[in-house]
Amino acid sequence: MATERYIILPKGGIAASIQAASDVLGRFPQVRSTQRPASFRLDMFGGATATVVDTVADDGPKLVDLEPEAAARINASGSPVRAVKEVFYPLPQPMEGSADFINFGGGGVPQFSFDVTVADAATGRAIGGCLVMAYWDFLNRFGVKGVTDANGRVRLSSPTPMIERVTATPEPGSGYWSGYRLNVPATGVIQIVAPPLTLPYVDSVRHYFGRTNFNSETGVTVGVIDTGCGPHADLNIVRGRNTVTGEPAKEATDSAYHGTHVAGLIGANGATFQGVRGLAPQVKLNAYRVYGAGSDRASNYSLLKAMIFAAEDGCDIINLSLGGGPDDEIVREAIVDARNQGMLIVVAAGNAYRSSVSYPAAYAGATPVSAMGRKGTFPSGSSEELQIVSPPYSTADPSEFIAHFSNIGPQIALTAPGVGAISTLPNNKVGPLSGTSMAAPVVAGAAACLLSQSPEVWSMPRDRARSDAIERLLQTNCVRRGFGLNFEGYGMPQFPSV
């Protein structure tokens, strides 16, 4: 019988609270991420063979290959441990006019061919390496995608004579916003221009949080669980860990660009790029890379390891700008465990166009964040305009809106700017991205500011009372924008500027 990959951990929690669970976990070979897997007989569970591929701690969770029959014996009543299948969370994608899921090639046989060209809106220069998405049925996500060549051109095909929406997203850090066209024939050449990014620029984040009151002397630390962070000179990354099985633990630089952008919204110091500061400049950042090099998914085991290490490393706040995975007991319990160790867990609500709040944001103990925007904080012609929808209407400012892509629901705790947010990108670059992935770190940065001004809360014992106190700090320093509870929860963070 073929083996499958499972996580072995105590029943009823992440850490072994009874000696029997600790004893069983301690018998497993202690294999670390890059070491050779080790097999041994599970004599206590009928003599089946298990192969250990990764270990968090001697008596902590193990990642193993098992036959399903052996896993069933481990999960039998009376066993002090359990076997839970490894599952995966998708790599977060930018939302510049696109969707996070597309039925490419669906909806019929291609009959109409057309070219899309992408150029600089100011100079007319062709933009190569630009992701183009063309939808003939946006509601059902039927479309096709391609990347422009060096001449800024890509050829695509459609089963219908009309294209509802075409978006063009230049490579992150290339110096552009994204562009778009609506309702164009699927023939000839569709021309799209991308507005250049010019700094300084007052985007949605800096409109509300141009300067903040972060006090670095308190010692607040924020953990960024993502694709890794940096390199970037404007980020104060004090520790990095890679929790991907098979990769070196010290390799925590960004495997894509997403984590660096998230980190900058939390704590970029703005030294390299004028005005591109995070909410908590120079805050101590711990980078936990859970997505492997070239991988489009992160396992629940990598996330579990990252949250265990974040507690060990003394993080006060964790940012999880990821989601879309299944309902999984491992990450659900890891969030509860992290809260019980004094940390606030801020999570992106998801980018599935008004769908319900995704996992892990929907778990109890998480602080789910929706994305809002404001007209006038991105250039005319950028595809951020596609995110302007109403109702709901803001009663605080008629220019505000909840982003079209944002997930919503009764779990939403707060909202924050997440449309056209400018932040750091690897190799000392900056650029705009949109998503609840951007809104969550704004909230994490706001929480860091509030905690830095509350040393009495920061110095509390690291337990659930502490994380509850941090949560209350955040909730009581929010202002509702009038969108309604399912869209904004307590509202948007607001605190004294300096």
Q: Active-site positions?
A: 226, 258, 437
Question: Tokens 């007052």 belong to which residue?
Answer: 202
Cα(489)–Cα(413) distance, rounded to whole angstroms? 4
Provide the β-strand partners of residue 55.
62
Structural Rg of the chain based on CA atoms: 23
SS3 49: strand
- What are the b/e assignments for 380-416, b being 16+ CB within 10 Å? ebbbbbbbbeeebebeeeeebbbbbbbbbbebbbbbb
State both tokens at 28. Answer: 């497993």
State both tokens at 465. Answer: 């009372």
Q: Is 264 exposed, middle or buried (0-12, 13-18, 19+ CB in 10 A)?
A: buried
With CA atoms as reference, report the closest residue to 286 among 309, 268, 304, 270: 309
C-alpha 292: how far from chain center: 15
With CA atoms as reference, report the closest residue to 90 among 256, 232, 203: 256
Cα(425)–Cα(486) distance, rounded to whole angstroms? 32
Query: 162-169 and 179-185: which strand pairing?
Result: antiparallel
C-beta neighbour count of 476 within 10 angstroms: 9
Cα(44)–Cα(297) distance, rounded to whole angstroms? 34
Reading phi first (left if > 0) and then psi (alpha if -120 to 50, else beta), residue 212 is in: beta
